[in-house]
Amino acid sequence: MTFDPQAFREQFPILSREVYGKPLRYLDNAASVQKPQAVIDRLTEVMTHSYANVHRGLHALSNEATTAYEQARESARAYLDAASPDEVIFTMGGTDGFNLVANVLGQNAIGEGDEILLTEMEHHSNIVPWHFLRKRKGAVLKWLEVDEDGNVDLDAYRAAFTDRTRLVAVTHQSNVLGAYTPLKEMAKIAHEHDALIIADGCQAAVHGPVDVRDLGVDFYVVTGHKLYGPSGIGLLYGRKDLLDSLPPYRGGGEMIDIVEKDRITYNVAPHRFEAGTPPILEAIGLGTALDFVREQDIEGLRAHEDALTAHAMEALRELNFVTIYGAQAGKGPVIAFNLDGAHPHDVATILDRQGVAVRAGHHCCQPLMGRLGVSATARASFAAYNTHEEVDALAEACRKAKDLLG
């Protein structure tokens, strides 16, 4: 099996449309990716033939929906190489995953004076929940500097630990710089200091299956809409022994065992953390998306994305009015850039009129913007369905933006 970029692209119907009379060149994949026909068809199939609530019913539709829902959990287990489906919690997305962990750790594991280590390039979803613990519980946030390419100094990381360090919260891949962190080494060092580690996999997991056991992390957060699946759904991996020791996040149906007037007992993981009616359709759709990715030639897919990134870096570097942020060797397919003297919002608007869709803003990474000395950037990000022609269109659109903006 070899990866065929054109055949892959043809499975995404939205990519055939035009905007402003020009072919759509969708380069905003770090924000959200488009959906393949397989996911669209699966959602339609379930809604048409076998939708019902899960786990509670004894009738045929409920049994079919429950089977599909739990099969999606198994698909997630396989994608993450978790030891058991019980280590996979369905969430409402990456942000919900971080809030879940912050909430349950804040109940009895992180308190006043306890330290949480973060890097400067974390997404706000991996910052704000820890600020909640800072404000409500008196936890201390300690920040690890990164260089201009997003590299983490492991010696400085080791030196940051104290006997009050309880948690490391770190991205696996930056959504601005495309930089990967040395996650496996960081997990090992955290455990040497009896600290837990949670990783933001919302960008890294897009590019193929992840081995959470090899990485050695305690928690790993994934969002579905960046992984060819629906929005409103995500995954939280957690070690089974750890999940079983943690209190619930929300109260309601499914997460309980026994409810009486004067006492309550709770269900086991993962159901303990999935209160109420879950995102049934979204979970099934995500399971289909994960299977869709696993069916690809992953090495070929990644090689294509790497080639697109290298092409784009070279094309933008040839424009002497463009500043690129982040050039880590082996970086993911994300390029943040600015045009000299132009606001990134203006740049993105002009590119949009040329049919090139990019992002502009702080990308929910304001501490990193401060580190880079800017308030915002434009950002082009690639998926496996993008083409080299689209990279050339990006460069040409930047030239036109420069001409218009002066």
The whole-chain average pLDDT of the chain stands at: 97
Q: What pLDDT sits at residue 406?
A: 79
The pLDDT score that the predictor gives to residue 319 is 98
DSSP 180: B
As a whole number, mean pLDDT of residues 179-203 equals: 98
Measured CA to CA, the distance from residue 163 to residue 114 in angstroms comes to 9
> What type of residue sits at position 53?
N
Q: The domain 41-294: what is its CATH number?
A: 3.40.640.10
- Could you read off the pLDDT of 199-225 as tens digits, one per residue? 999 999 999 999 999 999 999 999 999
Checking if the pLDDT of 1 tops 80, the result is: no
Name the band, by pLDDT with cuts 50, 70 and 90, for residue 157.
very high
| Distance from C-alpha of 222 to C-alpha of 201, rounded to nearest angstrom | 5
In this model, does residue 58 exceed pLDDT 80? yes
Residues paired with residue 324 on neighbouring β-strands, in sequence order: 337
Instruction: Map out the domains of the chain as residue ranges.
Output: 5-31+297-405, 41-294
How far is residue 322's CA from residue 402's CA, in Å, rounded to a whole number?
9
The rounded distance, in Å, linking the Cα atoms of 231 and 217 is 25
61-93 tens-digit pLDDT = 999 999 999 999 999 999 999 999 999 999 999
Direct distance between the N- and C-terminal alpha carbons of the chain, in angstroms, rounded to an integer:
48
Looking at 248-380, list the stretches that DSSP marks H as alpha helix, in order from N- to C-terminal side.
280-294, 298-317, 344-353, 366-372
Show the tokens assigned to 196: 């837990």
Instruction: Please give the CATH topology (third level) of the domain spanning 5-31+297-405.
Output: Aspartate Aminotransferase, domain 1 (3.90.1150)
Residue 158: predicted pLDDT: 98
- Name the residue among 119, 125, 170 with its Cα closest to residue 146: 119
CA 397 to chain centroid, in Å, comes to 28
0.95 surpassed by pTM:
yes
- Active site (annotated) includes residue 202: no
> How far is Cα 249 from Cα 116, in angstroms, rounded to an integer?
20
pLDDT at position 57 is 85
